[in-house]
Amino acid sequence: MTEIPAFHNLSLERHENGLELDESENNPFANTDGFYPLIHTILDFPFPTIALLTGHTFGGACPLALAHDYRVMNSRRGFISMPPVNLGLHFDGIGSLPRLKLRPQVARKMLLEAHRWTGPEALEDGIVDVVAEPEDMLNLALELGAKWAPKAKMGVYALLRQELWGDAIKKFQRISYVHSRVTSAPAKVKI
Protein backbone atom coordinates (compact mmCIF):
# COMPACT_ATOMS: atom_id res chain seq x y z
CA MET A 1 0.00 0.00 0.00
CA THR A 2 1.26 3.47 -0.87
CA GLU A 3 2.09 5.65 2.10
CA ILE A 4 0.49 9.10 1.97
CA PRO A 5 2.94 11.87 2.86
CA ALA A 6 1.85 14.38 5.47
CA PHE A 7 0.89 17.22 3.14
CA HIS A 8 -0.46 19.71 5.62
CA ASN A 9 -1.58 21.91 2.75
CA LEU A 10 -3.34 19.42 0.52
CA SER A 11 -6.82 17.95 0.56
CA LEU A 12 -6.92 14.53 -1.06
CA GLU A 13 -10.29 12.79 -1.12
CA ARG A 14 -11.80 9.72 -2.75
CA HIS A 15 -15.32 10.01 -4.19
CA GLU A 16 -17.57 7.38 -5.59
CA ASN A 17 -21.19 7.72 -4.52
CA GLY A 18 -23.76 10.47 -4.64
CA LEU A 19 -26.16 11.72 -2.05
CA GLU A 20 -28.26 9.27 -0.07
CA LEU A 21 -31.72 10.29 -1.32
CA ASP A 22 -33.55 8.55 1.54
CA GLU A 23 -31.57 10.47 4.15
CA SER A 24 -33.61 13.63 3.54
CA GLU A 25 -36.76 11.78 4.59
CA ASN A 26 -35.24 11.09 8.03
CA ASN A 27 -33.23 14.29 8.35
CA PRO A 28 -34.55 17.27 6.34
CA PHE A 29 -31.34 19.18 7.11
CA ALA A 30 -28.92 16.49 5.89
CA ASN A 31 -27.95 18.52 2.85
CA THR A 32 -27.98 22.01 4.37
CA ASP A 33 -26.03 20.88 7.44
CA GLY A 34 -23.69 18.41 5.75
CA PHE A 35 -23.44 18.17 1.98
CA TYR A 36 -23.64 21.83 0.95
CA PRO A 37 -21.24 23.02 3.69
CA LEU A 38 -18.81 20.28 2.60
CA ILE A 39 -18.81 21.57 -0.99
CA HIS A 40 -18.47 25.14 0.26
CA THR A 41 -15.53 24.15 2.49
CA ILE A 42 -13.71 22.42 -0.38
CA LEU A 43 -14.26 25.40 -2.68
CA ASP A 44 -13.02 27.76 0.03
CA PHE A 45 -10.11 25.59 1.22
CA PRO A 46 -6.84 27.59 1.32
CA PHE A 47 -4.77 24.86 -0.36
CA PRO A 48 -4.96 22.83 -3.60
CA THR A 49 -7.49 19.99 -3.51
CA ILE A 50 -7.47 16.72 -5.45
CA ALA A 51 -10.28 14.20 -5.84
CA LEU A 52 -9.61 10.53 -6.65
CA LEU A 53 -12.51 9.11 -8.66
CA THR A 54 -11.92 5.43 -8.03
CA GLY A 55 -15.28 4.19 -9.31
CA HIS A 56 -18.70 5.59 -10.22
CA THR A 57 -19.02 9.28 -9.44
CA PHE A 58 -22.75 9.91 -9.70
CA GLY A 59 -25.21 12.43 -8.37
CA GLY A 60 -23.86 14.40 -5.41
CA ALA A 61 -20.39 12.93 -5.87
CA CYS A 62 -20.14 14.75 -9.20
CA PRO A 63 -20.40 18.32 -7.80
CA LEU A 64 -18.27 17.15 -4.88
CA ALA A 65 -15.56 16.10 -7.35
CA LEU A 66 -16.02 19.28 -9.41
CA ALA A 67 -15.48 21.34 -6.26
CA HIS A 68 -11.87 20.12 -6.18
CA ASP A 69 -9.10 21.83 -8.13
CA TYR A 70 -7.91 18.59 -9.73
CA ARG A 71 -9.57 15.26 -10.48
CA VAL A 72 -7.85 11.92 -11.11
CA MET A 73 -10.16 9.25 -12.57
CA ASN A 74 -9.85 5.49 -12.82
CA SER A 75 -9.06 4.38 -16.37
CA ARG A 76 -10.62 0.92 -16.01
CA ARG A 77 -13.98 1.39 -14.34
CA GLY A 78 -16.51 3.94 -13.31
CA PHE A 79 -18.54 6.68 -14.89
CA ILE A 80 -18.95 10.29 -13.90
CA SER A 81 -22.49 11.59 -14.23
CA MET A 82 -24.91 14.07 -12.71
CA PRO A 83 -28.38 12.52 -13.22
CA PRO A 84 -30.76 14.87 -11.32
CA VAL A 85 -32.67 15.62 -14.52
CA ASN A 86 -33.58 11.90 -14.69
CA LEU A 87 -34.73 11.93 -11.05
CA GLY A 88 -36.69 15.17 -11.07
CA LEU A 89 -34.23 16.45 -8.46
CA HIS A 90 -33.03 20.02 -7.98
CA PHE A 91 -31.09 22.01 -5.45
CA ASP A 92 -30.03 25.62 -5.67
CA GLY A 93 -26.51 25.83 -7.04
CA ILE A 94 -26.51 22.45 -8.79
CA GLY A 95 -25.53 24.00 -12.12
CA SER A 96 -22.98 26.48 -10.83
CA LEU A 97 -19.92 24.21 -10.84
CA PRO A 98 -20.55 22.67 -14.27
CA ARG A 99 -21.28 26.16 -15.66
CA LEU A 100 -18.12 27.69 -14.22
CA LYS A 101 -15.70 24.79 -14.68
CA LEU A 102 -16.74 23.18 -17.96
CA ARG A 103 -17.28 24.29 -21.55
CA PRO A 104 -20.95 25.22 -22.15
CA GLN A 105 -21.63 22.16 -24.33
CA VAL A 106 -20.10 19.85 -21.72
CA ALA A 107 -22.03 21.52 -18.87
CA ARG A 108 -25.26 21.10 -20.84
CA LYS A 109 -24.45 17.46 -21.52
CA MET A 110 -23.80 16.94 -17.80
CA LEU A 111 -26.74 18.80 -16.30
CA LEU A 112 -29.50 18.58 -18.90
CA GLU A 113 -28.67 15.24 -20.53
CA ALA A 114 -27.25 13.28 -17.56
CA HIS A 115 -24.51 11.90 -19.79
CA ARG A 116 -22.23 9.19 -18.35
CA TRP A 117 -18.56 9.74 -19.13
CA THR A 118 -15.88 7.07 -18.99
CA GLY A 119 -12.45 8.17 -17.81
CA PRO A 120 -11.04 8.81 -21.30
CA GLU A 121 -14.22 10.69 -22.33
CA ALA A 122 -14.11 12.80 -19.15
CA LEU A 123 -10.46 13.66 -19.85
CA GLU A 124 -11.28 14.61 -23.43
CA ASP A 125 -14.13 16.90 -22.29
CA GLY A 126 -12.01 18.51 -19.57
CA ILE A 127 -13.98 17.14 -16.61
CA VAL A 128 -10.97 15.36 -15.14
CA ASP A 129 -7.28 16.26 -15.29
CA VAL A 130 -5.74 12.80 -15.30
CA VAL A 131 -6.93 9.28 -16.11
CA ALA A 132 -4.81 6.56 -14.56
CA GLU A 133 -4.62 2.85 -13.95
CA PRO A 134 -6.08 2.05 -10.52
CA GLU A 135 -2.71 1.13 -9.03
CA ASP A 136 -1.20 4.45 -10.23
CA MET A 137 -4.00 6.84 -9.21
CA LEU A 138 -2.81 7.66 -5.71
CA ASN A 139 0.79 8.24 -6.76
CA LEU A 140 -0.32 10.53 -9.60
CA ALA A 141 -2.53 12.46 -7.16
CA LEU A 142 0.39 12.77 -4.75
CA GLU A 143 2.61 14.03 -7.57
CA LEU A 144 -0.02 16.65 -8.42
CA GLY A 145 -0.16 17.59 -4.75
CA ALA A 146 3.62 17.90 -4.48
CA LYS A 147 3.66 20.04 -7.62
CA TRP A 148 0.84 22.44 -6.68
CA ALA A 149 0.91 22.57 -2.85
CA PRO A 150 3.77 25.12 -2.81
CA LYS A 151 1.48 27.58 -4.63
CA ALA A 152 -0.47 27.98 -1.38
CA LYS A 153 2.53 29.19 0.63
CA MET A 154 1.83 32.86 0.01
CA GLY A 155 -1.69 32.65 1.45
CA VAL A 156 -3.58 33.82 -1.63
CA TYR A 157 -4.58 30.46 -3.11
CA ALA A 158 -8.16 30.58 -1.75
CA LEU A 159 -8.54 34.23 -2.74
CA LEU A 160 -7.51 33.47 -6.31
CA ARG A 161 -9.80 30.44 -6.38
CA GLN A 162 -12.66 32.73 -5.32
CA GLU A 163 -11.92 34.88 -8.36
CA LEU A 164 -12.47 31.80 -10.52
CA TRP A 165 -15.34 30.03 -8.75
CA GLY A 166 -16.80 32.77 -6.52
CA ASP A 167 -20.34 32.39 -7.88
CA ALA A 168 -20.41 28.73 -6.86
CA ILE A 169 -18.82 29.46 -3.48
CA LYS A 170 -21.50 32.05 -2.74
CA LYS A 171 -24.33 29.75 -3.82
CA PHE A 172 -23.18 26.85 -1.64
CA GLN A 173 -22.55 29.16 1.29
CA ARG A 174 -26.05 30.63 0.91
CA ILE A 175 -27.76 27.22 1.02
CA SER A 176 -25.70 25.91 3.93
CA TYR A 177 -27.05 25.94 7.47
CA VAL A 178 -30.49 27.26 6.55
CA HIS A 179 -32.76 25.46 9.03
CA SER A 180 -36.48 25.55 8.30
CA ARG A 181 -35.99 26.53 4.67
CA VAL A 182 -36.32 24.16 1.73
CA THR A 183 -33.28 24.37 -0.56
CA SER A 184 -33.87 21.32 -2.71
CA ALA A 185 -36.68 19.34 -4.26
CA PRO A 186 -37.16 15.70 -3.24
CA ALA A 187 -36.43 13.10 -5.89
CA LYS A 188 -39.40 12.13 -8.02
CA VAL A 189 -37.88 8.71 -8.69
CA LYS A 190 -36.23 6.18 -6.39
CA ILE A 191 -33.39 4.17 -7.90
Q: What is the pLDDT of residue 20?
A: 60
Q: Do the bridges between strand 57-58 and strand 70-74 make them parallel or antiparallel, or are there none, so unpaired?
A: unpaired
DSSP string, 34-74: IIHHHHHHHHH-SS-EEEEE-S-EETTHHHHHHHSSEEEEE
In the chain, the number of structural domains is 1
Residue 3 located in a structural domain: no
Residue 57 located in a structural domain: yes
Residue 102 located in a structural domain: yes
CATH at 28: 3.90.226.10
Residue 66 located in a structural domain: yes
- Taken as a whole, the chain contains a residue count of 191
Q: What is the pLDDT of residue 155?
A: 82
Sign of CA pseudo-dihedral 61, 35, 30, 88: negative
Residue 1 located in a structural domain: no
Residue 186 located in a structural domain: no
- pLDDT tens digit string along 100-156? 999 999 999 999 999 999 999 999 999 999 999 999 999 999 999 999 999 888 888
CA distance 172 to 30: 14
Asked whether the predicted pLDDT for residue 4 surpasses 90, the reply is no
- pLDDT tens digit string along 165-179? 888 888 888 887 765
Q: What is the pLDDT of residue 8?
A: 41
- pLDDT tens digit string along 18-74? 556 566 667 666 666 678 888 888 998 899 999 999 999 998 899 999 999 999 999
Domain span at residue 38?
A: 12-178
Asked whether the predicted pLDDT for residue 3 surpasses 60, the reply is no
